[in-house]
Structure 1
């Protein structure tokens, strides 16, 4: 497994854990008179989608089915 793929997968796991924490009610909290807000759930969902696409692209590259595959074409004039 490539280093980039490992990095992407570990980042995806962190984002999923973060999303889970927000869904469990950790979006906002207060300490005394201060009210603190964590990351936006919409932004986290976008990043999860982005990371999933990047992981799929990286797996396709290592599997030989990526976008950069070369095909041989022979032009013919009839």
Structure 2
């Protein structure tokens, strides 16, 4: 996923979460995807969930990577 920053991934996740909330309370929602806008309706709830899952995983991966990922700890017991 070259070139996408944590801030960009978080912005996308926030946009899709907003779309989900809006669709839950009304019939449709329009979102600007950067390549034009898309109108989402209740019938698109599955796509909204899929996009939320995708961007959530990207945010988590980028957050983990920026924190240095998983670190090994080595304990030395004095004799």
What is the match of residue 77 of structure 2?
A: none
CA RMSD of aligned residues (A): 2.3
Structure-2 separation of matches of 1:38 and 1:54? 22
Where does the alignment leave 5 or more consecutive residues of structure 2 unmatched?
Answer: 30-38, 72-79
TM-superposed CA distance for 1:27, in Å, is 3.4
Query: Pairwise mapping of residues 1-78 of structure 1 onto structure 2 (< 5 A)?
Result: 4-27=5-28, 38-39=40-41, 40-65=44-69
Structure-2 separation of matches of 1:7 and 1:53? 13
Structure 1 runs of 4+ off > 4 angstroms? none
Structure-2 separation of matches of 1:27 and 1:46? 17
Point out the structure with max Rg over C-alpha: 1
Structure-2 separation of matches of 1:24 and 1:64? 40
TM-score, normalisation: structure 1: 0.62
Structure-2 separation of matches of 1:38 and 1:11? 15
Structure-2 separation of matches of 1:18 and 1:8? 15
TM-score, normalisation: structure 2: 0.62
